Amino acid sequence: MNTALKLGSLPVMGINMTKNYGSLKASKVKVFAVDGAGDAEFPSFLPKEVEKIKDPFARSLSKRMKRLPVQIGMSESCIMSSCVKPLRQSNKTSPVVLLHCFDSSCLEWRCTYPLLEEAGLEAWAVDVLGWGFSDLETRPPCDVASKRHHLYQLWKSYIKRPMILVGPSLGASVAIDFTVHYPEAVEKLVLINPSVYAEGTGNLAKLPELVAYAGVGRLHCLLPWWKDATVSFMLSGGYNVISQIKQVKHKTLIICGQHDQIVSYQHVVKLHSELSNAIIREVSDSGHLPHVDNPKCVAKLIADFAQGDADVNAKSQFCLAQLTALPRQ
């Protein structure tokens, strides 16, 4: 079964996050020390190809990945769910929970995650049900409702406090949908180049039989259930949160990449106007994945927002890039 994926989000096939993304090079962000996992071994549930990855940030975060049992449905069955847990709990800020783009994984945060911890945040990087490295041998449904319920059960079992929920690209739709259904679980939102105006998955075409499994971004595609889980989501109709946006009353930070070629500037401004309590910050020298292209800047923005600085210092030298607040239109 072959199906083409069209979500107004990250292109599905052949993504190699260690190479160029548009005109930007993710490799240039590797200017800070890795909080290395030393001689720790990779988790046994990761594909053996993880050994071939040279990116030190990806290797470090991979070695910290865990699977936690998350109960689903009314039965006692659990999904062994992949995530990166914080090293310690923070009493100063709410936990920061990092989602990821469409058909990606928590390794998307490999460059930013250590900086968030360095800033003193309690950061969780979680894999959305159906994507990433969770054990899906039992093939649970991977539609929107199942993804939402799974995230809630993970939050209820392990995080247990109102969180700052961070969603990039289609992850912003995941975050908005979750927040509308479980507002008590969310304190604030961070939406990065948010893809929230796509109406479902569009017309289904066909997936190529041969997928370019290149780099960190495609590692999870080597798991045996990847194709079934992705097709399950596509056939379910996908996300359509357009009618939910104005229901979100939480304080929201919208981060957009200056050179994003996936989500239009007009849609970012439209989202800002429809959210009742939102601010925008633009990150220079970044495209659709500013948390990969310019992790220092994104980490600073998230940390300031988490720590209560709603204005977010737009002149911070830490970002190494100009930040501008975009006007409402």
pLDDT tens figures, 178-206: 999 999 999 999 999 999 998 776 533 33
pLDDT digits (tens, 9 = 90+) for 221-242: 999 999 999 899 999 999 999 9
**Cβ distance 196 to 173 under 8 Å?**
yes
Residue 53's contacts (CB-CB under 8 Å, 6 or more residues apart) are 59, 62, 215, 216, 219
Q: Examine the pLDDT at 54 and tell me if it is beyond 90.
A: yes
For the chain, the farthest-separated pair of C-alpha atoms sits apart, in whole angstroms, at: 52
Please report which residue ranges of 21-78 form alpha helices under DSSP H.
Answer: 56-63
Return d(Cα 18, Cα 164) in angstroms, integer: 28
**Cβ distance 122 to 88 under 8 Å?**
yes
- Among 21-35, 100-114, 309-323, the minimum mean pLDDT is found in 21-35
Cα–Cα distances in angstroms (integers) from residue 26 to residues 17, 152, 160, in the given order: 7, 32, 34
Q: Could you tell me the pLDDT band of residue 311, with boundaries at 50, 70 and 90?
A: low
**C-alpha distance across the termini of the chain, in Å:** 44
* 304 labelled catalytic: no
pLDDT digits (tens, 9 = 90+) for 264-279: 999 999 999 999 999 9
Return d(Cα 259, Cα 256) in angstroms, integer: 9
Q: Examine the pLDDT at 105 and tell me if it is beyond 80.
A: yes
Please report which residue ranges of the chain form alpha helices under DSSP H.
Answer: 56-63, 113-118, 144-154, 170-181, 226-236, 265-274, 290-293, 295-306
pTM of the model: 0.82
> What would the mean pLDDT of 218-223 be, rounded to a whole number?
93
Q: What are the sequence ranges of the domains in the chain?
A: 49-199+214-308
More reliable by pLDDT, 171 or 13: 171
Q: Return the structure tokens found at 21.
A: 């993304």
pLDDT digits (tens, 9 = 90+) for 122-175: 999 999 999 999 999 988 899 999 999 999 999 999 999 999 999 999 999 999
Q: Examine the pLDDT at 329 and tell me if it is beyond 90.
A: no
**Cβ distance 41 to 65 under 8 Å?**
no
Beta strands 96-98 and 163-168, pairing class: parallel
* Annotated active-site residue in 260, 285, 293, 304: 260
Q: Examine the pLDDT at 1 and tell me if it is beyond 80.
A: no
* Annotated active-site residue in 94, 288, 291, 304: 288
Rg (CA), the chain: 18
> What would the mean pLDDT of 255-263 be, rounded to a whole number?
93
Q: Examine the pLDDT at 314 and tell me if it is beyond 70.
A: no
Give the per-residue pLDDT at 38.
Answer: 55
Q: Could you tell me the pLDDT band of residue 328, with boundaries at 50, 70 and 90?
A: very low
Q: Could you tell me the pLDDT band of residue 296, with boundaries at 50, 70 and 90?
A: very high
* Annotated active-site residue in 60, 62, 82, 169: 169
State percent of the chain over pLDDT 70. 77
* 260 labelled catalytic: yes
CA 266 to chain centre: 22
Give the per-residue pLDDT at 193.
Answer: 96
**Cβ distance 21 to 29 under 8 Å?**
no
Residue 317's contacts (CB-CB under 8 Å, 6 or more residues apart) are none
Class of the CATH-defined domain 49-199+214-308: alpha beta
**Cβ distance 195 to 172 under 8 Å?**
yes
Q: Examine the pLDDT at 24 and tell me if it is beyond 70.
A: no
Per-position DSSP letters for 114-144, written without gaps between them: HHHHHTT--EEEEPPTTSTT---TT----SH
